[in-house]
Amino acid sequence: MTKIKQLGPGLLLCLALAVPCWLLGKAFPIVGGPVFAILAGMVVTIFYRSKASTQAGIAYTSKKILQYAVILLGFGLNLSEIAKVGATSLPIIISTISTSLIVSFALYKLLNMPANISTLIGVGSSICGGSAIAATAPVIGADDEEIAQSISVIFLFNILAALIFPTLGGVLGLSNEGFGLFAGTAVNDTSSVTAAASAWDGMHPGANTLDQATIVKLTRTLAIIPITLVLAIWRTAKVKRAGGAQESSFSLKKVFPFFIIFFVLASVITTVATSAGVPASVFHPFKELSKFFIIMAMAAIGLNTDLVKLIRTGGKPILMGLCCWLAIAAVSLGMQHVLGIW
């Protein structure tokens, strides 16, 4: 009961912000609910400074609810379907992920940027936008302002990709298969992939690229697993090298992404159940709840973010996001050319 009293006000505030943002995301999928939520949270916090009664619930939402969102995301992954269709896109996916991580690391060194923001932008650009950031943030110990900065950058280029890529694909002469691969590997968030592929299908009647683009995107999502595990081990090794008091109070168990195990378990449950004849639609509510939890968490992160500071320090992260975005698009198209698809 004490826990409910402590967390309740903050959870209700995040819920109150999340509901209209979720509806706005449905109405404007090219922008998406998470963007509306993080903006709403940042605007509200300008006027709502004294958060003593709600801070515990806001912190819980930005950390724990975000992890629950990643776990529920697993129910949207049918591993057998991904193995069948996504395997052809694997060389492109590996190339684009590697490129984004290399570019973000190089710019981190060159621009002297904060390590956490650089990691989140690199991972978010290369894997699956907000979901990858949600999974990575607790592993590297990122704070809410770093998450907000990274999410803002990622979604800016998501929106641009959804608007530009369908026309660009037509100008470049991509086939339906080629655009499905391009959208699935070069656009980050699922809603933006859906928007880009749907726009292409509207421009090319009978194309049906949406299913392929979505499966390629979901195949990329699986990269969350090795990335978070490697980052957890890297952070542990880094602390041990540093030594001192921090080392004695730090362990791999503290940063190990245990929620990723439940994410994998959810994927296995979906795969086994659908193979046994359970309709995939049974798992649809879990996927929707995952999206809603991400929107709730983004509202909480917005409430903990200084909008003025975000704008003042946003130049370098936006440059990094732009470079990652352009590099991923170029490599995706280049690999298609090498593989004879384009």
Averages of pLDDT over runs of 10 residues in the chain (342 residues) are: 84 95 86 85 87 89 87 85 75 92 94 93 88 87 88 85 89 90 86 83 81 83 87 83 58 70 90 91 90 90 80 86 95 91 80
The answer to whether position 99 is within a domain reads yes
Gyration radius (Cα) of the chain, Å: 20
The answer to whether position 218 is within a domain reads yes
pLDDT of residue 250: 54
The answer to whether position 66 is within a domain reads no
Could you please report the per-residue DSSP string of 1-30? Answer: -HHHHHHHHHHHHHHHHHHHHHHHHHH-TT
61 contacts 292 by C-beta, under 8 angstroms: no
The answer to whether position 135 is within a domain reads yes
159 contacts 186 by C-beta, under 8 angstroms: no
The answer to whether position 71 is within a domain reads no
The answer to whether position 296 is within a domain reads no
The answer to whether position 194 is within a domain reads yes
Torsion angle defined by CA atoms of residues 104, 161, 159 and 191, in that order, rounded to the nearest 10 degrees: -100
51: three-class secondary structure by DSSP: coil
Total number of domains constituting the chain: 1
Rounded (5°) CA angle 135-56-66: 15
Rounded to an integer, what distance in angstroms lies between the CA atom of residue 119 and that of residue 177? 31
The answer to whether position 247 is within a domain reads yes
pLDDT of residue 23: 94
Q: Where in the sequence is the domain holding 250, given as residue range(s)?
A: 77-286+308-338
